[in-house]
Amino acid sequence: MQKITLGSGCFWCVEAVFDALKGVKQVTSGYSGGKISNPTYREVCSGLTGHAEVVQLEYDEKKVSLDEILEVFFQTHDPTTLNRQGADKGTQYRSAIFYHDEQQKEVAESIIEELNQSGAFDDPIVTEVTEFDTFYPAEEYHQNYFENNPEQGYCQMVVRPKVEKFKRVFADKLK
């Protein structure tokens, strides 16, 4: 099993997408990249801790490659907007890859370079590629949020459309 930690906006959306990806065994919402220990959701949302909302994936590389994970990552958020995803604004919503080893760093940087050179996006990718340091799991009520709260307003308006698009585009990669 391998691990990678990814930030691409609100972790409720990111968790719901990766939870459906074949080969991903565990998705945990949490916080990385900040300067205080054991931050709370409220502290992270203040924008003062430096943490990003992230998901930590545990995946079976025999069933899903890092390239496939990063393909999903780049196609399910806008990696060209600094500290913003849709209406969610702040450093906690930044696009970030917290790599766990040098191979992950090389793959991430290579994919970003390829995407920038190909013109896949109108603007340059601003995704931060940073060495993983610490992951703090989010409070329990954030785990499996979409699954547990499908009728909640944000889930209806933001998470559900993102998950439905993911399932259409990546139908061959679903669990």
**64/15 Cα distance (integer angstroms):** 16
pLDDT in tens, 59-69: 999 999 999 99
Query: Using 50, 70 and 90 to split pLDDT, how confident is the model at 99?
Result: very high
Mean pLDDT of 120-143: 97
Mean pLDDT of 107-119: 97
**27/116 Cα distance (integer angstroms):** 28
- Whole-number average pLDDT of the chain: 97
Query: Using 50, 70 and 90 to split pLDDT, how confident is the model at 122?
Result: very high
Report the largest interatomic distance among the alpha carbons of the chain, rounded to a whole angstrom: 41
Name all domains of the chain by residue range, CATH numbers in brackets. Answer: 2-173 (3.30.1060.10)
Bridging pattern class, strands 84-85 and 88-89: antiparallel
pLDDT in tens, 22-50: 999 999 999 999 999 999 999 999 999 99
Percent with pLDDT over 70 in the chain: 100
Mean pLDDT of 52-56: 98
Mean pLDDT of 57-84: 97
Q: Is 155 a catalytic residue?
A: no
**17/92 Cα distance (integer angstroms):** 19
Return the pLDDT at 155: 95
Q: Phi and psi (nearest 5°) for 153?
A: -55, -50
